[in-house]
Amino acid sequence: MNAPLTRRHALAAIAVSTGSCLTACKKEDQPAPGAGGDPKAAAGASIKVGEFASLTGKEATFGQSSHKGTLLAVEELNAAGGVLGRKFELITEDTQSKQGESASVVRKLVSRDKCIAILGEVASGRSLEAAPICQNAKVPMISPSSTNPKVTEVGDFVFRVCFIDPFQGTVMALFAKNTLKAKNVAVLTDAAAPYSVGLATFFKEKFVADGGKIAVEQKFSSGDKDFKAQLTAIKAANPEAIFAPCYYTEAGLITQQARQLGINLPIFGGDGWEAPELLTIGGKAMDGTFYSTHYSPEDKAEMVATFVKKFKARWNNEVPDAMAALGYDSALVLADAIKRAGGTDGQKLRDALAATKDFVGVTGKTTLDAKRNATKPAVIIEVKDGKFVYKETVNP
């Protein structure tokens, strides 16, 4: 289903009219990012944009989806002539879903490739590795979908186009209370993932503040395969539902093993569940589970329907998930900021990004607040009969 992806590739602008072409990145002279170079001096040169994503490894679905959305946006921008008379050159690096790899590849994108901006990552932990590098170099970084609040707290050159976990945690606490009618919830947290820890914290704060009770909290570490000990402890606490704010690689196994232990309670999570592989891993056990995310391909809005149609045509009839939609929006937000900045000077581009307001994208209107976070609605998805089904939208 997924097209093969090389570790390092760039978009050749001249091939856009007949389809995209991924080639080895060529070296071009360009003003150093953040150095205040005169954009006129590089008139006609491509605009180098770096992207780092988990194209391989245990969370490869995240990176591949985000990359496909980003690449689609770049292809469309180039087909329309680019921005300010210059076309984009997308240089993509694979983080391999490994700790420490993000810092290495982003350092290369900034120092060696002289990219004027960086797009990525999906996982908050990997964005947190790269953010200090971009901040120190004064190269704007836009995460499409890292929701941990700490990501943009690194500095004023770090942005995101997704909602953040305080909102997502609140959404799921309200969902547990109002839709699931649960008053007593167990929480199963990945102690090794900043995303999971943060989302669990915000969920618990809101749920308890609204009169709910946390029956028990159990922990595990990313990459674990056996959750029966934690699930047995949860079963003994007799909760009415289980909140598992983790990634799809563990969510499917957790749900499958819970059903094997006779735990037939509603299990729900956050946008880390967003992946077709969730159904492959969890199988029929996933029916009756729920998660929050950033958009639904079932949305009837014209821009969403157009995006889904174009994405399916480009990627062998694959239905775009939220990571693809956010990757697409992140590239368009960057292009809009470059246009408003009148060039690619680091400081001016940063200021233009910070001023982003009511930018209409596939995942809704993007307005960045003073902390460079996007305020957007959340969507609740239910797994029903082996399919992802839109359930409801929750506005900020």
Grouping H, G, I as helix, E, B as strand and the rest as coil, residue 336 is helix
Strand partners, 94: 53
- CA atoms of 258 and 280, how far apart (whole Å): 16
- CA atoms of 348 and 365, how far apart (whole Å): 22
Question: Domain range holding 89?
Answer: 8-163+301-376
Q: Is the pLDDT of residue 106 over 50?
A: yes
- CA atoms of 193 and 165, how far apart (whole Å): 13
- Pick from 272, 293, 314: which residue ends a domain? 293
Q: Classify residue 206: in a domain, yes or no.
A: yes
Q: Classify residue 329: in a domain, yes or no.
A: yes
Determine contact, residues 135/154, Cβ cutoff 8 Å: yes
Q: Give 53-94 pLDDT, tens digit per residue.
A: 999 999 999 999 999 999 999 999 999 999 999 999 999 999
Q: Classify residue 392: in a domain, yes or no.
A: no
Tell me, yes or no, whether 258 and 189 share the same domain: yes
> What is the reported pTM?
0.86
Q: Classify residue 389: in a domain, yes or no.
A: no
Q: Give 185-225 pLDDT, tens digit per residue.
A: 999 999 999 999 999 999 999 999 999 999 999 999 999 99
Task: Tell me the C-alpha to C-alpha distance, in Å, between residue 176 and each of 113, 232, 249, 267.
Answer: 47, 21, 23, 10
- CATH code, domain with 328: 3.40.50.2300
Grouping H, G, I as helix, E, B as strand and the rest as coil, residue 90 is strand
Lowest mean pLDDT among 4-8, 169-173, 232-236, 292-296: 4-8
Tell me, yes or no, whether 14 and 158 share the same domain: yes
Mean pLDDT value across the chain: 90
Instruction: List the beta strands (DSSP E) in the chain.
Output: 8-11, 22-23, 47-53, 88-94, 117-119, 141-143, 158-160, 184-190, 213-220, 241-243, 267-269, 290-293, 359-361, 364-366, 378-384, 387-394
Q: What is the dihedral of CA 130, 73, 56, 10, to 10 degrees?
A: -80
DSSP states along 14-60: GGTBTB--EEPPPP---PPTTTT--GGGGTTS-EEEEEEE--SSTTH
Strand partners, 119: 51, 142
Strands 141-143, 47-53: pairing kind: unpaired
Structure tokens at 168: 């997502």
Identify the band that residue 26 occupies on the pLDDT scale cut at 50, 70 and 90: very low
**Dihedral of CA 158/164/165/167: which sign?**
positive
Lowest mean pLDDT among 19-33, 38-52, 144-158, 362-376: 19-33
Q: How many domains does the chain have?
A: 2
Tell me, yes or no, whether 306 and 332 share the same domain: yes
Least Cα distance to 187 among 198, 248, 179 occurs for 198
Q: Give 246-299 pLDDT, tens digit per residue.
A: 999 999 999 999 999 999 999 999 999 999 999 999 999 999 999 999 999 999
Q: Give 40-60 pLDDT, tens digit per residue.
A: 435 579 999 999 999 999 999
